Amino acid sequence: MSGDPTVGDQTESLDLPPELLAQIYRQARAEFPNECCGYLIGRGAAAELRRCVNAQDRLHTLDPETYPRTAANGYTIYGRELRDLVASFDGDRPATVIYHSHPRVGAYFSAEDALAARSSGYPVDYLVIDAQEDRIGGAKLFRERDGAFTCIATYPGADL
């Protein structure tokens, strides 16, 4: 599997080390049919993966009206993991990418994804992984530009 993206118009490096992409893909397969989630600290060869626990099912069980989605079609980074993500923006190595998988429906930036991204206001790109029954169909990296989330890179899939 190559971490080399097909890159659209962008202003900075989108290097995603192949081993990090492979780790994200393995996490997506391991957590299928639920969405996986996490984030990257730093960019390029110096990037680090921070896997997170998808707290969506727990929140849905506690308050299904506020959290109508389950982990099968939503994700929430919560607790200490969320605190660490937010704290990274005040440090020398801020989070640069938040990622999650879309089980069975493809890698696209949904209206729910856009709402959550806008409400958080985090200065990051968003990687969405296409997790299918028998493989990872690829991934797409999105960035907000002029009020819309645009795909700025597409990554190949893998048979995992």
Query: What is the count of structural domains for the chain?
Result: 1
29: helix, coil or strand?
helix
Q: Does residue 101 lie in a domain region? A: yes
Q: Does residue 74 lie in a domain region? A: yes
- DSSP code string of 89-149: TTSSS-EEEEEEEEETT-S---HHHHHHHHHH--S-EEEEEEE-SSSEEEEEEEEEETTEE
Q: Does residue 130 lie in a domain region? A: yes
CA distance 10 to 143: 9
Q: Does residue 113 lie in a domain region? A: yes
The rounded average pLDDT for each run of 10 residues, N- to C-terminus, in the chain (160 residues) is 45 72 97 98 92 97 95 96 97 96 96 93 96 96 93 93
Q: Does residue 91 lie in a domain region? A: yes
Q: Does residue 1 lie in a domain region? A: no
Q: Does residue 89 lie in a domain region? A: yes
Range of the domain at 115: 6-155
What CATH number corresponds to the domain at position 118? 3.40.140.10
0.95 exceeded by pTM: no
| Cβ pair 113, 69 in contact under 8 A | no
